[in-house]
Every structure is written in structure tokens, then in C-alpha cells.
Amino acid sequence: MDHFARLGLPAALDIEPAALDRVYFASQRKWHPDRFVSRPPEERAKASTEAAALNDAYRTLKDPLSRAFYLAELCGVEMPGDGKTIDDPDLLMEAMEAREALGDADTPDAVESLAAQALQGKQETLESLASLFLRDDKPAIRKALLRLRYLDKFADEARARRTNLERPAS
């Protein structure tokens, strides 16, 4: 059973966080091992398995990025294996320029504005993905996902750099 089906949701990119929480909590009310403490061992084992599968489904679908990758996998989109490779020349160029800009940014505000750009790019790419999935345009989905993964990583690096800049010199 795929993660969407397990939670009774349609396999789509757009999921309301509140709706996801609602179905997840309802399912956990039914299967969480705490509900089975005084039950026979076989029922407890089943509950534990179900609850574990629910948690896996929830954490996969909760984050929009991991949800997009999971949906792509369900749709049969092939991604580069090692999870780090960028094989799109345009994206590679963008990534190199952005990294240079981040290296040059030496105030928290400058870093913040780069991080904001990355987050906005992430948002736009996520929005464009929804229609790509509808059209089942696999090469475009793949390209968009690689860009998402890069932007996400860049935002993390920017956050780390900002934390470093904000730390009072000691």
C-alpha cells in the first residue's frame, strides 16, 4: 500500500497540512501501540506494524519536498542515484553563481536576502510541479525536482552561514 492510500488521501502534490494531520491523528488513534498495552501479543505486533507504517507515511508526505520526490517515484520518474549529482547544465551554472554570491555575502542581511530568494524559487518550483504531474511530463518533473533539491540545500547552507555571522565573535 502506498503512503497516500494508507492515509486515505488522493495521490497528489497538493495536500492541506491540516487535512494530513487530521487523517494521521485519526489513524493513530486507532493503531498506536498505547491503545494495545493490555492486548494479546499478536494484536500488539500488528498495531506496532500499522503505527510504524503510518508514521513513515506521515513523515514522507508532511514535507512538500519529500512528498514531491515520493510522488515522482510512484509515477516512475528516474532520479540520479547518489542524490547529489546535478546533471542539468543550466542548474549547474545557477548553483555555481549562487554559491559565489553566498561566499561574498558578509552580513546577516545579505545572507538573509539570498536565502529568501532560494525559498521563493523553491515555492515557485513546487507550484509549477503540480501542473507537470498533471501532464505527466517526466523529463520536466525530473528537472524541477533536481532544482528543488538544490534550492533546499542552498537554503540550509545560507541558514548555517547566517548563524555563523550572527554568532558574537569570542
Partner 1 sequence: MGCDMSLLEIHEPGETPLPHAGEGALAVGIDLGTTNSVVAIAREGVPAALHDAAGHALVPSIVAYAEDGRVLVGDAARELLAAEPTRVVSSIKRLMGRGSADVRTVAGVLPYEIEPGSGETDMVKLRIGGRARSPVEISAEILKALRARAQAALEKPVERAVITVPAYFDDAARTATRDAARVAGLEVLRLVNEPTAAALAYGLDKGSEGLYAVYDLGGGTFDFSLLRMDKGVFQVLATGGDTALGGDDFDRAIAERMLAERQRDGVIDRVDETAIKRALALARQMKEQLSPRDHTSGRLELEGKPSFHALTRPEFEALIAAAVGRTLDIARAVLADAGVGAAELQGIVMVGGSTRVPLVRQRVGEVFGKPPLTDIDPDEVVALGAALQAESLTGGGDTLLIDVAPLSLGLETMGGIVEKVVPRNTPIPVQLAQEFTTYQDGQTAMAIHVVQGEREMVADCRSLARFELQGIPPMTAGAARIRVTFAVDADGLLTVSAEERTTGVAQRVEVIPSYGLSHDDMAEMLYDSLDHAEDDMIQRLLVETRVEARRGLLALDAALAKDGALLSDVERADLDGARSRLEAAIGGDDRDEITAAAEALEALSKPFAERRMDRGIREALAGVAVSDLERRVGE
29 forms part of the interface with partner 1 (CB under 8 A): yes
143 forms part of the interface with partner 1 (CB under 8 A): no
Q: Which of residues 46-105 bind partner 1 (CB under 8 A)?
A: 47-49, 51-53, 55-56, 58-59
170 forms part of the interface with partner 1 (CB under 8 A): yes
C-alpha cell of residue 110: 545579505
39 forms part of the interface with partner 1 (CB under 8 A): yes
119 forms part of the interface with partner 1 (CB under 8 A): no
Tell me which H or E stretch contains 156: helix 138-166
Query: How many whole angstroms from its chain centre is CA 166?
Result: 27
Number of amino acids touching partner 1 (CB under 8 A): 27
Binding segment for partner 1 (CB under 8 A), chosen from 7-15, 36-44, 98-106, 142-150, is: 36-44
Report in angstroms how near the CB of residue 84 gets to partner 1 at its nearest.
Answer: 13
C-alpha cell of residue 155: 537554503
Residues 95 and 110: their CA atoms lie apart, in Å, by 17
Q: Mutual orientation of helices 89-104 and 138-166 as an angle, nearest 10°?
A: 10
Determine phi and psi for 99, rounding to 5 degrees: -65, -40
Report in angstroms how near the CB of residue 24 gets to partner 1 at its nearest.
Answer: 9
Residues with Cβ < 8 Å from 150, sequence gap 6 or more?
A: 86, 91, 94, 95
Q: Which residues bind partner 1 (CB under 8 A)?
A: 21, 25, 28-39, 43, 47-49, 51-53, 55-56, 58-59, 159, 170
